[in-house]
Structure 1
Amino acid sequence: MHNGNSIKLLTGNSHVELAQAIAERLGVPLLPCDVTTFSNGEINVKIQQSVRDEDVFIIQSGCSDVNDNLMELLILISACRTASARRITAVIPCYPYARQDKKDKSRAPITAKLVANMLTTAGCDHVITIDLHAGQIQGFFDIPVDNLYSEPIMIKYIKAEIEGWKDAIIVSPDAGGAKRVTNMADKLGLDFALIHRKRKSRYRDQGSRDSQSQSRSGSTNQSRRQSPDFRIQLSSLQMNGIEPDAPVRGEPSDEDGMELLVGNVKDKTVVLVDDMIDTGVTVSLATRLLKDAGAARIFLLASHGLFADTNIPYLMSLPIERLVVTNTIPQLANQAASDNKLVILDVSAILSESIRRSHNGESFGILFGEGGPMENRT
C-alpha cells in the first residue's frame, strides 16, 4: 500500500460510467464531488470528503466537450493538491489533443506538449492512459507516464469472435500504424498488410518539379520511364477504381490522395486496425480499397471511437461486418444507433488493475501482454 494510505477515486463529467465500473472492480466508492458550471461558463469543483495524505486517482477522459473536460481535470488536480493529497494520478483513458504531437507545418502548435505541461503545473504526479496516438507524447512529461495498450483485449476478441481468424490478415490503414499491426500480427502468427496513403498536394508539387526538370532536359518521356514510382502513382495506384475525387464525409475531398496496398488480401478476412476513428475518412478509403482488392470480410478495430459529427450511420454503411472499439470514450448511445454492428470492449479491468498496482507499488508488466486481466465486451 502506498505509504499506508488508501485509494481515493474521483471523476469529472467526461465518462462517469467508466469511473463507476472501475470503482466497482476495486471495491472502492467514488468520492462525492460536485463539478458544476457558473452562469458565465466557469467550472466549479467541490470535493465533499478529505483527501489529505491520500493516494488520489482522478478518472477523466478527453472526449466530447474536450476543453471543458480538460479544465475539469486540471481543476480537480489543483483542488486535490491544495487539499494536501499525498499523490495525485490522472487516469486519462483517451488523451486530449494527442494528434497535435509534432510541428508538421509552419507555426503549428504542439498542443499535446502543452497539455502535459498543464497537468504537471496543476499538481499531477503520475499519468495513466491508453494507446497514445504517438509514443513520443510520453516524453513530453517530467512525471511518470504509463501508456497501457488495448491490444491484449483486441487479440482476445479476434480469437473468440472472428471465425477463421487463423487465415485472416492484419492491415493498417496508414503508414503510421505499421508498428501497431506488425506487433499484433506477430502475436497472432498472421500476415500483415499496409495501406500507404498519399496526399494530392504532394503529387501536384511533385508533378510541378518533374515538369520543370523535364523542360530543362527536353526529354519528358525518358524522365517518366526512369521513374517507376511516378508510374505507380499515376496508374494502378488509382486505388483500383476508387476515385481520389470521390466525396467522403468528414474532410475536404481535395486533400484525399491515392493509396497503395502493400500485401495480398484477396479472398481473406481482413482485420483493419487503427488507434482512433474520428471522421472516418481514412477507414472509408481503406475499406473500399480492400474490397476492390478482393477482401472477403472486413472487421474494423480501433482503440478510441471519437465518431465526430454523429458519424455512426455513415460508418455503418461501410463494407464492414463489425466495428470494434473500446469504451475509453462513452459509446452506449452510439451502439444503439449502430444496428448491432458496433462492439464495445471494456477497459475498466485493465485500468482498475493499473490503479491497484500503482497504489501497491507493483509492476505493470503483466498489463502489456495477453496475461493481463480479461475485459468484458457488450
Structure 2
Amino acid sequence: MRGAIVFSGSSHPALVDGICDRLGSKRGSVSLGKFANGETSVSIHTSIREKHVFIVQSGSEKINDAVMELLIMVSACKGGSAKSITAVMPYFPYSRQSKKKQHRGAITARMVANLLHIAGVDHVVTIDLHASQMQGFFKCPVDNLLAEPLLARWIRVNIPNWKEAVVVSKNPGGTKRVTSLADALKLSFGIVTTDRRRGGTIHMSESALFDQLKMDGAYGTPGVLEAALDTDAHITPATSSSYNHRGENGKPKIQTRFTNPLQRRANAVESSGSPLAKSVRVDSVPDAEIPPETLPDSDPPGQDADEQDESAEEYTDERARDVIHGRLVQGHIVDESHPSPAMSATSNSTWRHNRAASETEDDCIPDHMISSFVSTASSVRRLENSEHAHALGGTIDAAASSEDEEDDLNNPGLETMVTLVGNVRNRPVILLDDMIDKSTSWIAAAETVVKRGGATQVYCMATHGLFGGDCLAEMNACECIDKIIVTNSFPIPEYKQAQARDKLVVIGVDNLLAEAIRRNHHGESISQLFMHYD
C-alpha cells in the first residue's frame, strides 16, 4: 500500500507477517528492546513522515510490557510526523475490567483507552471487545470487528450435521453473542446457568443454618428467629389436626395451634394445600374463617379421584422438559447420591439430632415462615461478612462475573446447582464465548450438556484463546469436549499448543485484519467485514 506502513510489536510477530503477506508489503523496520533496568526501548528506522502508520500489538502473556511498548511506539511515530496512527489490537488488554466490581475498584479498560489517546492514537481496530459498550471509552473512532463470520464458516465446513447443532451459552452474560450466531446459522440456542445456592429437597427448618439461628439465643441474647417473632408468638402443643374442612355451619373452620394471629393465619394458608400458599401474604387470610373456594372440598360433587388426576395432567407444561438441573462439586457433575460438601460433619450431625428431636414434639413452625426468616437473616449476614459485596449494594450474586463463577466452581466447600435451558439431546453442542481463560466453567458446561442433556458432541468455541495456567491441558483431558476452536488474535505459545494437538483448532484472522487495514487506508467502508458468506 502506497503511503502506509505497518509496524509490529513484540507480542504477536507471526500475526503481523500474515497481515503483511496479505497486503503485499513488508513491515516497517523498528528495534524493540529493554535497558538493563527493565525500561522499554523503541527505535524506528523507517521514514514515516506524512504516512498512515498501523501498529499491530495484541495482548500477550506479558500484558503490561505489551501495553507500555505500544504507547512508546505511538509516541515515537507521533514525534516522527506521521499523518495518522492506527492501533491494531486484536485482543484489547484489560477488556474484562470495564466496570467497577467493588467500591474502590478501577475501570482499567477506560484508563488504557485514555492512555492511547494521550499517546496520540487516531484510530483503534480490535476484535470482539469483551463488552461492546467499551467503545464509549475512546475519544477516537473504534472498529470493533467480529470473528463470528469466521467461526460460522468453520462450523458449516467442519461439523457434518451442523444444521442440527445447538449453540449454548455457558453463562447468562453471553446470551447476546450466542443468539447472534444462532440467528446467522438458523440454529437453536440454549443457556447454562450456575447458582451457588443449592436447590435441594431439605426443608429450611431442617437445615444447619436454621439450627444456627435458633442457637443464637441460647446464651441470653435473642437469636434472629426469636427476634423475628414477637413476644406473643408462643408455640403451644396441639393434639388435634390443623384444620377441619367443614364446621357445624358448613363453613371451613380452622383449629390452629398458635396463639399469635399472624401465625394462625399463616398456618391456615399453609395447611390448605392451595397453590397460592407460597404467594399469598399471611396477613391477607381471615382469623377464623376463609372463603370456601380457597380450600378444596374433600369430595367435590360430580368428580371422583380419577377425574381429578386427569384434570391435573391437562395442565402440565411440555416446555419444562427442556429445563434440566444438576449438581456441580468442584466444577464436575455429580449424582444426587453424592454427599454435599457444603455441610460439615458437625453441622450434619447436629441437623440429624435436631430433626429426630423435632419429630417427637408436637410444636412446629410452618416451613414458608421459616424460609422467610432464614432468607432475610442469611442475606443480612452475607452483606456483613462478604468480602466481595457489590459496589451498588446487595451481594455478589447481583453482579456475578466470569471470575466469580470460576471461584465458586473451584471452591471445594461449595456445592453449585447448574441449570440447562434448551433441548440438546442427540445433537451436537457449540459452547460459545468471547475468550477462554480458565477451564472450570467450560468443563462444567460440557459435562452438563453431555451427562445431563444427552448431547452427542461438544465444540468449545471462542475468539480469544488466552489459556491461562493449565487451562488447555485440563480441557484437553476432558472426555466431554471434542474440539477447542479459537482464533490467533491472542498468541498461543508452542508449548501450550502441544498440550492439545488433537483437539485445538486455530483460525487465522490475518485476512480479516489485513482487509480492515486496507479499507481504512483507502477510506472504504468496512461493513462487508461483518457479513456472513456461504
Query: Is TM (by shorter chain) over 0.5?
Result: yes
CA apart distance, 1:361 = 0.3
Aligned to 1:238: 327
Partners of 2:194 and 2:140 in 1: how far apart? 35
Structure 1 counterpart of 2:16, from 19, 28, 31: 19
Secondary structure at the residue paired with 2:459? strand
Aligned residues: 357
Q: Which amino acid aligns with 1:370?
A: H
CA distance in 1, matches of 2:517, 2:96: 26
Residue type matched to 2:519 in 1? Answer: R
2:188 maps to 191
User: In structure 2, what is the equivalent of residue 301 of structure 1?
Assistant: 461
Q: Give the direction of change, closer, same or farther, for the CA distance of 1:39–1:310 in structure 2 (3 Å limit).
A: farther
What is the one-letter code of the residue matched to 2:492? Q
Q: Deviations over 1:49-85 (max 9, x none)?
A: 1111110000000121000001011111111011110
Q: Where does residue 317 of structure 1 map in the other structure?
A: 477
Alpha-carbon distance in structure 1 between the residues aligned to 2:62 and 2:52 = 28
Asked if the contact 1:174–1:197 (Cα under 8 Å) also holds between the matched residues in 2, the reply is: yes
CA distance in structure 2 between the aligned counterparts of 1:128 and 1:96, rounded to whole angstroms: 13
Q: Percent identity?
A: 40
Q: Name the CA distance, whole Å, in 1 between partners of 2:427 and 2:164.
A: 7
Contact 2:166 2:187 in 1 (8 A): yes
1:143-167 Cα offsets, whole Å, 9 max, x none, are: 0000000000100000000110011
Q: Indicate which of 521, 525, 531 corresponds to 1:359.
A: 521
Write the distance in 2 (CA, Å) between the matches of 1:53 and 1:68: 28
* Contact 2:326 2:334 survives alignment (8 Å): no
1:135-185 deviation digits (Å, cap 9, x = unpaired): 111111110000000000100000000110011100011111101110111
Distance (whole Å) between structure 2 residues aligned to residue 192 and residue 176 of structure 1 = 14
In the other structure, the counterpart of 2:117 is 120
Q: How does 1:162-311 map to 2 (within 5 A)?
A: 162-199=159-196, 216=229, 226=278, 236-238=325-327, 241=334, 251=407, 253-254=410-411, 257-292=416-451, 293-311=453-471
Please say if residues 466 and 492 of structure 2, whose CA atoms lie closer than 8 Å, have aligned partners that are also in contact.
no
Structure 1: give runs of 5+ residues left out of the alignment.
228-234, 373-378
Question: Within 2, Cα distance between the matches of 1:121 and 1:256?
Answer: 47
Question: Which one is further off, 139-148 or 313-322?
Answer: 313-322
SS of 2:425 mapped into structure 1: coil
The aligned residue for residue 370 of structure 1 is 532
Corresponding residue of 2:83: 86
| TM-score (normalised: structure 1) | 0.86
Coordinate RMSD, CA, aligned: 3.1
Q: Call closer, same or farther: CA 1:104–1:200 in 2, change over 3 Å.
A: farther
Cα distance in structure 1, aligned partners of 2:139 and 2:177: 26
One-letter identity of the residue aligned with 1:43: T
Aligned to 1:327: 488
Name the SS of the counterpart of 1:70 in structure 2. Answer: helix
TM-score, length of structure 2 as denominator length: 0.62
Q: 1:145 to 1:257 in 2, by over 3 A?
A: farther
Q: Structure 1 residue aligned with 2:43, among 29, 46, 71?
A: 46
Letter aligned with residue 17 of structure 1: A
CA 1:224/1:271 → structure 2, altered by over 3 Å: closer, same or farther? Answer: farther
Quick check: 2:166–2:427 contact (8 Å CA) kept in 1?
yes
Shift, 1:213, TM fit: 8.7
Unpaired runs of at least 5, structure 2: 214-223, 230-261, 280-323, 343-404
Contact 1:43 1:72 in 2 (8 A): yes
* Structure of higher CA gyration radius: 2
Return 93-102 or 212-221, whichever deviates more.
Answer: 212-221
Task: Show the counterpart of 2:349.
Answer: none
Deviation track 1:89-143 (CA, whole Å, cap 9, x = no partner) reads 0000000000001112221111010110001111000000000000111111110
Deviations 1:230-274 (A, max 9, x none): xxxxx945356378969xx97462378432211111111001111
Retained in 2: the 8 A contact 1:322–1:341? yes
Q: Distance in 2 between matches of 1:371 and 1:264?
A: 28
